[in-house]
A = this chain, B = another copy of it.
Amino acid sequence: MKALILVAGGVEDMEFYYPFYRLKEAGIPVDVAGPEKGKVHGKHGYPVDINESLSSIHADDYDLLILPGGKSPETVRLYSRALEVTRQMMEAGKCVAAICHGGQVLVSADVLKGRRATCYKAIRDDLKAAGATYVDEEVVVDGNLITSRVPDDLPAFFREINNMCAAHIS
């Protein structure tokens, strides 16, 4: 099993690092893809190392996609390859998990039609406009799509990721 996290400068630090460390704790390999390889900083100042370029990722290489929030999704969604990979992983039924503003990538990838989902409330109307049914709960699971609202939802968010990838994460 292998996971992919899509980030850019200004990512919500906790929403990146909790899943990143959590997967490492479970022994799952993780790629961090961003606009270019190297270092960016989260909105609270934490450094984040990017080891893959957003324009060279392949959906086939991953079983789990994580889309953290903050200011990062407004950059990630500008990369067509990031959107393709999101679409392909959704279509392949792989686990796709977005939290907070991470939902903006889902809107751009156009994968929300008919889906139940949640997100940071300030962008709920964008998810609705993109065809989702917005639900105000700490975590919403609809098929292979897992969504949450804010950093404090991270425990529930990862519990569901855990459930969905049960064979791999402990």
Contact = CB atoms under 8 A, between A and B. Distances in A.
Contacts of A21: 14, 18, 154-155, 158
Contacts of A130: 126, 129
Interface stretch (A31-39, A56-64, A71-79, A90-98): A71-79
Protomer copies: 6
Interface residues of A, number: 35
A25 B77 contact: no
Given A14-B17, A45-B44, A78-B121, A24 B155 contact: yes
A22 interface: yes
A13 B122 contact: no
A123 interface: yes
